[in-house]
């Protein structure tokens, strides 16, 4: 994608995948956008599944090695263009989960997946995009990650040993007071084994009304995606 990188020097925004200047709000040209959304659930709507004991909803089911456009998008959402792109995809997620209606039924508390370096990352950007113009939905960034090394380099068994802990100045009693009468939603960009979400659920003392929202559920594929991360 050398063409795209050169065009950025001139302030032009090209398709994230093919480099075409015919780029839409989702970061893709019309052809690549059609490819991306063709991998969504037939008939539209979110993917619903159970991972361990947790209810998980995602916009896409991602199979690296088969969905090159989606693989590229996932990479870009972690990059410098991430914030604006998250606004688009979080907006689509909010529409399909009928977020505004859901909040009227029961208040929602969003818990972003903790970053590995304690910095603002993709999960928090996703949460912030979901709450844009929705001041009644609160983000409670109360967890930190206890981990060594990158998740993408770990085996399935290593991923399943993910650990999270309370971030500085946050405690379990504070969270429990904040969560009274609310549905607790764990926010992440990609769910693979569900180990981080499960670790968070346990750290939060297993709230009963708990679910996981993410951009995509990733299959543990050995496919040779150029954008495998």
Read off the CATH number of the domain in which 68 is found: 3.40.50
Residue range of the domain that includes 53: 43-218
Domain assignment of residue 119, yes or no: yes
Q: What is the pTM assigned to this prediction?
A: 0.85
Same domain? For 33 and 52 the reply is: no
For residues 220 and 155, give the distance between their C-alpha atoms in angstroms, rounded to a whole number. Answer: 10
Could you tell me the pLDDT band of residue 2, with boundaries at 50, 70 and 90?
Answer: very low
Domain count of the fold of the chain: 2
Residues 78 and 189 in one domain: yes
Q: Which two tokens stand for residue 162?
A: 């993910």
State whether 20 and 120 are in the same domain: no
CB count, 10 Å around CB of 81? 14
Q: Which is more confident, 193 or 3?
A: 193
Residue 226 domain flag: no
Asked, for residue 227, whether it belongs to a domain, the answer is: no
Q: In this structure, are 10 and 117 located in the same domain? A: no
* Amino acid 207: pLDDT: 96
Residue 201, domain member (yes or no): yes
**What distance in Å separates the CA atoms of residue 137 and residue 168, rounded to the nearest whole number?**
22
Share of the chain above pLDDT 70, in %: 79
Residues 33 and 47 in one domain: no
Residue 9 lies inside a defined structural domain of this protein: yes
Q: Are residue 31 and residue 48 in the same domain, yes or no?
A: no
Task: Judge whether 31 lies within some domain.
Answer: yes
């Amino acid at each position: 994608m050398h063409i795209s990188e050169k065009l950025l020097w001139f302030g032009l925004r090209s398709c994230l995948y093919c480099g075409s200047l015919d780029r839409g709000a989702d970061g893709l040209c019309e052809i690549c956008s059609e490819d991306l959304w063709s991998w969504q659930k037939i008939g539209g709507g979110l993917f619903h599944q159970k991972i361990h004991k947790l209810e998980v909803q995602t916009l896409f089911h991602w199979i690296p090695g088969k969905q090159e456009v989606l693989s590229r998008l996932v990479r870009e959402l972690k990059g410098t263009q991430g914030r604006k792109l998250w606004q688009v995809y979080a907006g689509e997620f909010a529409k399909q989960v009928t977020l505004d209606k859901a909040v009227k039924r029961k208040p929602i508390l969003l818990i972003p997946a903790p970053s590995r370096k304690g910095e603002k990352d993709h999960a928090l950007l996703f949460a912030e995009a979901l709450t844009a113009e929705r001041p009644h939905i609160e983000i409670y960034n109360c967890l930190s990650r206890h981990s060594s090394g990158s998740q993408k380099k770990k085996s399935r068994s290593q991923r399943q040993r993910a650990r999270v802990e309370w971030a500085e100045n946050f405690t379990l009693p504070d969270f429990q007071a904040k969560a009274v009468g609310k549905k607790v939603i764990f926010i992440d960009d990609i769910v693979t084994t569900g180990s981080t979400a499960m670790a968070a659920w346990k750290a939060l003392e297993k709230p009963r009304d708990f679910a996981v929202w993410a951009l995509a559920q990733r299959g543990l594929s050995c496919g040779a995606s150029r954008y495998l991360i």
